[in-house]
Amino acid sequence: MKPYIIGIAGGSGSGKSTFAGRIKEAFPEHVSLISCDNYYLPHDELSLEERAELNYDAPEALEFDLMVRHLEQLKNGQSALCPVYDFSHHTRSSSVTEIQPRPIILIDGILIFHDKALRECMNLKVYVETDADERILRRARRDMLERGRDLDGVIHQYLSTVKPMHNTYVEPTKVFADVILNGGKNEQAFMLVKAQIEQILKSQK
């Protein structure tokens, strides 16, 4: 059986990764999770300072072709070697993560619905919509605690690229969604998606 691929999109800090993580936790043996964040292009030819100034919220920042190739490998029953992005250095690290082919494949990221070839790999597309004030607060906390950023840097990046790119590229892609959720901690929506996955797993036996 081909895996059932669920794409989870939404703005930065919307709660999409939280939602994807909850699904992974509910079906640990049956779900593989791919984060689009690991597919940022490395740009090792640039200095750290130059890489820090790049626009990471536009489609050209991501290697969509590699994501599609990895999903095709998983659909064909092969594992995929996913890059690991180092946010403190704004480039890919030397490590990779081996993603195993499983009945359910989750892929989450702000721009995963932008690329047509990537969209066409998905069986279900979920968009997580969250108020902008809540998203920036979540992003600031995450970037400072997990990615080694300072508050001034977070604010500068949000105003210069994150907010305008969200309006230009991210939010318009919700027209491609099969389901639009209000926040990543929406319990009713989680239970509905969980029930659908249970049905899919039952049908694949």
pLDDT bin (cut points 50, 70, 90) of residue 141 is: confident
Residue count (the chain) = 205
Q: Is the pLDDT of residue 184 over 70?
A: no
Q: What is the mean pLDDT of the chain?
A: 89
Q: Tell which residue, 56, 79, 180, 62, has the closest CA to residue 117.
A: 62
pLDDT at position 173, please?
96
- CA–CA distance, 33 with 160 (Å, rounded to integer): 30
- CA–CA distance, 129 with 101 (Å, rounded to integer): 29
Concatenated DSSP letters of 145-188 = HHS---HHHHHHHIIIIIHHHIIIIIGGGGGG-SEEEESTT-HH
Tokens 């279900």, residue located: 124
- CA–CA distance, 22 with 131 (Å, rounded to integer): 21
Quick one: angle between helices 187-204 and 16-26, nearest 10? 40
Domains of the chain: 4-204 (3.40.50.300)
- CA–CA distance, 3 with 172 (Å, rounded to integer): 27
Instruction: Write out pLDDT tens, residues 27-85.
Output: 999 999 999 999 999 998 999 989 988 888 899 999 999 999 999 999 999 999 999 99
Amino acid at 100: Q
**CA dist list (Å): 109 to 15, 76, 151:** 11, 23, 23
